[in-house]
Amino acid sequence: MTKKRLWTCLAALACVFWGISGLFAKGLFNISASITPIWISQVRMVLSGILLLIFAQVTGKKPLKTMTDKKDAITVIAYGLLGLLPVQYCYFIVVQQANASVATVLQFIGPFFVLFYMVVFEHQVLRAVDVIAAIVAFLGVFFLATHGHFNQLSLTPSVLFWGLISAVGVATNTLIPRRLLDHTSSLVVTGWGLLFSGIALALAHPVWPKIPNNINIFWLMAGVTVIGTLIPFQWMMGSLRYIKPSTASLLDAFEPVSATIGSVIIFGLVMAPIDWIGSIMIICAVLALNWEPKHKR
Protein backbone atom coordinates (compact mmCIF):
# COMPACT_ATOMS: atom_id res chain seq x y z
CA MET A 1 0.00 0.00 0.00
CA THR A 2 1.40 3.40 -1.01
CA LYS A 3 1.68 6.23 1.51
CA LYS A 4 -1.03 8.14 -0.34
CA ARG A 5 -3.50 5.26 -0.08
CA LEU A 6 -2.55 4.57 3.53
CA TRP A 7 -3.12 8.16 4.60
CA THR A 8 -6.33 8.36 2.57
CA CYS A 9 -7.60 5.37 4.57
CA LEU A 10 -6.46 6.93 7.85
CA ALA A 11 -8.15 10.23 6.97
CA ALA A 12 -11.37 8.35 6.20
CA LEU A 13 -11.05 6.43 9.48
CA ALA A 14 -10.52 9.74 11.29
CA CYS A 15 -13.88 10.91 9.97
CA VAL A 16 -15.45 7.65 11.14
CA PHE A 17 -14.04 8.32 14.61
CA TRP A 18 -15.53 11.82 14.55
CA GLY A 19 -18.88 10.26 13.77
CA ILE A 20 -18.47 7.82 16.65
CA SER A 21 -17.60 10.70 18.98
CA GLY A 22 -21.02 12.12 18.24
CA LEU A 23 -22.49 8.95 19.73
CA PHE A 24 -20.41 9.48 22.88
CA ALA A 25 -21.67 13.06 23.05
CA LYS A 26 -25.26 11.85 22.60
CA GLY A 27 -24.72 9.53 25.55
CA LEU A 28 -23.46 12.45 27.63
CA PHE A 29 -26.46 14.59 26.74
CA ASN A 30 -28.78 11.74 27.74
CA ILE A 31 -27.18 11.54 31.20
CA SER A 32 -27.74 15.18 32.17
CA ALA A 33 -29.21 18.34 30.66
CA SER A 34 -26.45 20.33 32.38
CA ILE A 35 -23.91 18.87 29.93
CA THR A 36 -23.84 21.22 26.95
CA PRO A 37 -22.15 21.06 23.53
CA ILE A 38 -20.07 24.11 24.43
CA TRP A 39 -18.79 22.48 27.62
CA ILE A 40 -17.86 19.30 25.76
CA SER A 41 -16.01 21.32 23.10
CA GLN A 42 -14.08 23.32 25.70
CA VAL A 43 -13.02 20.31 27.73
CA ARG A 44 -12.05 18.05 24.84
CA MET A 45 -10.12 20.77 23.00
CA VAL A 46 -8.08 21.86 26.01
CA LEU A 47 -7.41 18.31 27.26
CA SER A 48 -6.56 16.98 23.81
CA GLY A 49 -4.30 19.93 23.07
CA ILE A 50 -2.36 19.50 26.30
CA LEU A 51 -2.01 15.73 25.84
CA LEU A 52 -0.81 16.10 22.25
CA LEU A 53 1.76 18.73 23.21
CA ILE A 54 3.05 16.57 26.07
CA PHE A 55 3.39 13.61 23.71
CA ALA A 56 5.13 15.84 21.17
CA GLN A 57 7.62 16.98 23.81
CA VAL A 58 8.30 13.42 24.99
CA THR A 59 8.92 12.23 21.43
CA GLY A 60 11.34 15.06 20.68
CA LYS A 61 9.09 17.19 18.45
CA LYS A 62 9.96 20.38 20.39
CA PRO A 63 6.50 22.02 20.45
CA LEU A 64 7.73 25.20 22.17
CA LYS A 65 10.07 25.90 19.25
CA THR A 66 7.08 26.46 16.98
CA MET A 67 5.83 29.30 19.15
CA THR A 68 9.20 31.08 19.03
CA ASP A 69 8.83 31.60 15.28
CA LYS A 70 6.44 34.51 14.71
CA LYS A 71 5.12 33.28 11.35
CA ASP A 72 4.57 29.73 12.59
CA ALA A 73 2.91 30.95 15.79
CA ILE A 74 0.48 33.14 13.83
CA THR A 75 -0.36 30.20 11.55
CA VAL A 76 -1.04 27.90 14.50
CA ILE A 77 -3.25 30.48 16.21
CA ALA A 78 -5.11 31.12 12.95
CA TYR A 79 -5.59 27.38 12.51
CA GLY A 80 -7.09 27.08 15.98
CA LEU A 81 -9.31 30.17 15.88
CA LEU A 82 -10.33 30.16 12.20
CA GLY A 83 -10.28 26.42 11.56
CA LEU A 84 -10.93 24.25 14.59
CA LEU A 85 -13.17 26.64 16.52
CA PRO A 86 -15.79 27.35 13.80
CA VAL A 87 -15.90 23.68 12.81
CA GLN A 88 -16.91 22.80 16.38
CA TYR A 89 -18.68 25.81 17.87
CA CYS A 90 -20.62 27.08 14.85
CA TYR A 91 -21.78 23.56 14.07
CA PHE A 92 -23.30 23.24 17.55
CA ILE A 93 -25.00 26.64 17.23
CA VAL A 94 -26.83 25.35 14.15
CA VAL A 95 -27.71 22.14 15.99
CA GLN A 96 -29.20 24.21 18.82
CA GLN A 97 -31.11 26.63 16.57
CA ALA A 98 -32.24 24.07 14.00
CA ASN A 99 -31.19 20.42 14.10
CA ALA A 100 -28.27 18.13 13.38
CA SER A 101 -29.53 17.36 9.88
CA VAL A 102 -29.38 20.98 8.77
CA ALA A 103 -26.01 21.43 10.49
CA THR A 104 -24.55 18.42 8.68
CA VAL A 105 -25.82 19.53 5.27
CA LEU A 106 -24.54 23.08 5.66
CA GLN A 107 -21.17 22.01 7.04
CA PHE A 108 -20.66 19.61 4.16
CA ILE A 109 -20.62 22.58 1.78
CA GLY A 110 -17.05 23.02 3.09
CA PRO A 111 -15.38 20.96 0.31
CA PHE A 112 -16.80 23.35 -2.26
CA PHE A 113 -15.00 26.24 -0.54
CA VAL A 114 -11.80 24.16 -0.67
CA LEU A 115 -12.27 23.39 -4.36
CA PHE A 116 -13.02 27.05 -5.06
CA TYR A 117 -9.84 28.14 -3.25
CA MET A 118 -7.66 25.58 -5.03
CA VAL A 119 -8.97 26.58 -8.45
CA VAL A 120 -8.86 30.36 -7.96
CA PHE A 121 -5.70 30.82 -5.90
CA GLU A 122 -3.59 27.76 -6.71
CA HIS A 123 -4.82 27.17 -10.26
CA GLN A 124 -5.59 23.50 -9.65
CA VAL A 125 -7.16 21.87 -12.68
CA LEU A 126 -10.26 20.00 -11.64
CA ARG A 127 -11.06 16.69 -13.27
CA ALA A 128 -14.62 15.97 -14.28
CA VAL A 129 -14.66 13.16 -11.71
CA ASP A 130 -13.77 15.65 -8.94
CA VAL A 131 -16.82 17.76 -9.72
CA ILE A 132 -19.12 14.76 -10.14
CA ALA A 133 -17.83 13.19 -6.91
CA ALA A 134 -18.44 16.41 -4.99
CA ILE A 135 -22.00 16.65 -6.27
CA VAL A 136 -22.79 12.98 -5.62
CA ALA A 137 -21.27 13.09 -2.11
CA PHE A 138 -23.20 16.25 -1.27
CA LEU A 139 -26.45 14.69 -2.46
CA GLY A 140 -25.68 11.56 -0.47
CA VAL A 141 -25.20 13.53 2.75
CA PHE A 142 -28.32 15.54 1.93
CA PHE A 143 -30.42 12.38 1.60
CA LEU A 144 -28.87 10.90 4.73
CA ALA A 145 -29.36 14.03 6.83
CA THR A 146 -32.91 14.90 5.70
CA HIS A 147 -34.28 11.38 5.10
CA GLY A 148 -35.29 12.55 1.64
CA HIS A 149 -37.74 15.18 2.88
CA PHE A 150 -36.65 18.24 0.93
CA ASN A 151 -39.15 20.56 2.60
CA GLN A 152 -37.43 20.21 5.99
CA LEU A 153 -34.65 22.64 5.10
CA SER A 154 -36.40 25.79 6.17
CA LEU A 155 -33.55 28.01 7.29
CA THR A 156 -33.61 31.22 9.28
CA PRO A 157 -30.97 33.86 8.45
CA SER A 158 -29.14 33.01 11.68
CA VAL A 159 -29.02 29.28 10.92
CA LEU A 160 -27.87 29.96 7.37
CA PHE A 161 -25.15 32.36 8.57
CA TRP A 162 -23.69 30.08 11.24
CA GLY A 163 -24.01 27.04 9.00
CA LEU A 164 -22.02 28.71 6.24
CA ILE A 165 -19.41 29.88 8.76
CA SER A 166 -19.13 26.27 9.88
CA ALA A 167 -18.61 25.20 6.26
CA VAL A 168 -15.92 27.84 5.80
CA GLY A 169 -14.34 26.44 8.96
CA VAL A 170 -14.11 23.04 7.28
CA ALA A 171 -12.16 24.66 4.45
CA THR A 172 -9.86 26.78 6.64
CA ASN A 173 -9.28 23.79 8.92
CA THR A 174 -7.91 21.97 5.87
CA LEU A 175 -6.06 24.80 4.12
CA ILE A 176 -4.43 26.94 6.84
CA PRO A 177 -1.89 24.46 8.30
CA ARG A 178 -0.67 22.91 5.02
CA ARG A 179 2.60 24.82 4.64
CA LEU A 180 3.36 24.63 8.35
CA LEU A 181 3.13 20.84 8.12
CA ASP A 182 6.02 20.84 5.66
CA HIS A 183 8.46 21.49 8.50
CA THR A 184 6.46 20.95 11.69
CA SER A 185 5.05 17.76 13.20
CA SER A 186 1.29 17.38 12.93
CA LEU A 187 1.35 16.53 16.64
CA VAL A 188 2.59 20.03 17.40
CA VAL A 189 0.27 21.81 14.97
CA THR A 190 -2.82 19.94 16.12
CA GLY A 191 -1.90 20.26 19.80
CA TRP A 192 -1.42 24.02 19.72
CA GLY A 193 -4.47 24.52 17.50
CA LEU A 194 -6.74 22.57 19.83
CA LEU A 195 -5.35 24.29 22.93
CA PHE A 196 -5.76 27.81 21.53
CA SER A 197 -9.27 27.14 20.22
CA GLY A 198 -10.34 25.56 23.51
CA ILE A 199 -8.95 28.43 25.60
CA ALA A 200 -10.53 31.01 23.28
CA LEU A 201 -13.91 29.30 23.54
CA ALA A 202 -13.61 29.06 27.33
CA LEU A 203 -12.74 32.77 27.62
CA ALA A 204 -15.54 33.82 25.29
CA HIS A 205 -18.12 31.60 26.98
CA PRO A 206 -16.91 30.72 30.50
CA VAL A 207 -19.63 28.25 31.39
CA TRP A 208 -18.90 25.41 33.80
CA PRO A 209 -22.14 23.56 34.58
CA LYS A 210 -22.71 21.39 37.62
CA ILE A 211 -21.77 17.93 36.38
CA PRO A 212 -23.39 14.90 38.09
CA ASN A 213 -21.17 12.41 39.90
CA ASN A 214 -21.48 9.61 37.33
CA ILE A 215 -18.64 7.31 36.25
CA ASN A 216 -20.20 6.98 32.79
CA ILE A 217 -19.55 10.67 32.22
CA PHE A 218 -15.83 10.05 32.71
CA TRP A 219 -15.71 7.15 30.24
CA LEU A 220 -17.83 8.90 27.62
CA MET A 221 -15.78 12.08 27.93
CA ALA A 222 -12.62 9.99 27.58
CA GLY A 223 -14.09 8.54 24.38
CA VAL A 224 -14.90 12.01 23.06
CA THR A 225 -11.37 13.19 23.88
CA VAL A 226 -9.31 10.21 22.69
CA ILE A 227 -11.40 8.56 19.95
CA GLY A 228 -13.21 11.72 18.92
CA THR A 229 -10.35 14.22 19.07
CA LEU A 230 -6.79 13.01 19.75
CA ILE A 231 -6.60 10.20 17.20
CA PRO A 232 -8.70 11.59 14.31
CA PHE A 233 -7.23 15.10 14.32
CA GLN A 234 -3.74 13.63 14.29
CA TRP A 235 -4.55 11.31 11.39
CA MET A 236 -6.31 14.01 9.39
CA MET A 237 -3.48 16.48 9.89
CA GLY A 238 -0.88 13.88 8.96
CA SER A 239 -2.79 12.95 5.81
CA LEU A 240 -2.44 16.47 4.40
CA ARG A 241 1.20 15.68 3.58
CA TYR A 242 0.13 13.01 1.11
CA ILE A 243 -3.37 13.80 -0.18
CA LYS A 244 -4.99 16.88 -1.71
CA PRO A 245 -6.93 19.24 0.59
CA SER A 246 -10.01 18.73 -1.57
CA THR A 247 -9.74 14.97 -1.05
CA ALA A 248 -9.27 15.32 2.71
CA SER A 249 -12.25 17.63 2.94
CA LEU A 250 -14.55 15.33 0.98
CA LEU A 251 -13.61 12.37 3.17
CA ASP A 252 -15.66 14.10 5.85
CA ALA A 253 -18.58 12.33 4.19
CA PHE A 254 -17.71 9.27 6.27
CA GLU A 255 -18.62 11.14 9.46
CA PRO A 256 -22.41 11.20 9.00
CA VAL A 257 -22.33 7.64 7.67
CA SER A 258 -20.61 6.28 10.78
CA ALA A 259 -22.80 8.39 13.05
CA THR A 260 -25.94 7.07 11.38
CA ILE A 261 -24.85 3.43 11.48
CA GLY A 262 -23.84 3.82 15.12
CA SER A 263 -27.19 5.39 15.94
CA VAL A 264 -28.97 2.43 14.35
CA ILE A 265 -26.95 -0.09 16.36
CA ILE A 266 -26.75 1.75 19.70
CA PHE A 267 -29.80 4.02 19.87
CA GLY A 268 -32.20 1.98 17.70
CA LEU A 269 -32.55 4.53 14.91
CA VAL A 270 -34.79 3.24 12.11
CA MET A 271 -33.35 4.00 8.68
CA ALA A 272 -35.50 4.45 5.60
CA PRO A 273 -34.36 3.16 2.18
CA ILE A 274 -33.38 6.70 1.18
CA ASP A 275 -30.89 6.75 4.08
CA TRP A 276 -29.12 3.66 2.77
CA ILE A 277 -29.11 5.13 -0.73
CA GLY A 278 -27.44 8.25 0.63
CA SER A 279 -24.79 6.19 2.42
CA ILE A 280 -23.96 4.23 -0.73
CA MET A 281 -23.72 7.46 -2.75
CA ILE A 282 -21.21 8.87 -0.27
CA ILE A 283 -18.99 5.79 -0.33
CA CYS A 284 -19.05 5.63 -4.13
CA ALA A 285 -18.25 9.34 -4.41
CA VAL A 286 -15.20 9.05 -2.16
CA LEU A 287 -13.95 6.00 -4.05
CA ALA A 288 -14.41 7.85 -7.35
CA LEU A 289 -12.55 10.85 -6.00
CA ASN A 290 -9.41 8.78 -5.50
CA TRP A 291 -9.68 6.98 -8.83
CA GLU A 292 -6.79 7.67 -11.15
CA PRO A 293 -6.73 5.97 -14.56
CA LYS A 294 -3.54 4.20 -15.51
CA HIS A 295 -1.83 5.78 -18.47
CA LYS A 296 -0.81 3.49 -21.28
CA ARG A 297 2.89 3.45 -22.05
Mean pLDDT (the chain) is: 80
* Residue 296 is assigned to a structural domain of this protein: no
Residue 71's Cβ-side half-sphere holds a number of Cα atoms within 13 Å equal to 4
* Residue 108 is assigned to a structural domain of this protein: yes
* Residue 297 is assigned to a structural domain of this protein: no
Is 252 within 8 Å of 108 (Cβ atoms)?
yes
Residue, of 133 and 46, whose pLDDT is higher: 46
pLDDT > 50? residue 32: yes
φ, ψ for residue 168, nearest 5 deg? -65, -35
* Residue 269 is assigned to a structural domain of this protein: yes
* Residue 75 is assigned to a structural domain of this protein: yes
pLDDT of residue 80: 94
User: Which amino acid makes up residue 267?
Assistant: F
Q: Average pLDDT in the 18-39 region?
A: 79
pLDDT > 80? residue 67: yes
Is 193 within 8 Å of 177 (Cβ atoms)?
yes
Q: List, for residues 75-113, the tens digit of each pLDDT value.
A: 999 999 999 998 887 877 776 676 566 676 677 777 778
Residue 39 CA to residue 36 CA, distance in Å, equals 5
* Residue 62 is assigned to a structural domain of this protein: yes
The domain in which residue 9 lies consists of 3-289
* Residue 294 is assigned to a structural domain of this protein: no
Per-range mean pLDDT, top range of 124-133, 179-188, 243-252, 257-266: 179-188
At residue 220, the 3 state secondary structure works out as: helix
Residue 17 CA to residue 146 CA, distance in Å, equals 22
What's the maximum distance between 2 C-alpha atoms anywhere in the chain?
67
pLDDT of residue 297: 46
Residue 197 CA to residue 203 CA, distance in Å, equals 10
* Residue 126 is assigned to a structural domain of this protein: yes
Query: Residue 196's pLDDT band (boundaries 50, 70, 90)?
Result: very high
Residue, of 167 and 77, whose pLDDT is higher: 77
Q: Average pLDDT in the 11-39 region?
A: 81
Query: Residue 29's pLDDT band (boundaries 50, 70, 90)?
Result: confident
Q: Average pLDDT in the 143-170 region?
A: 74
Is 147 within 8 Å of 286 (Cβ atoms)?
no
Question: What is the total count of domains within the chain?
Answer: 1
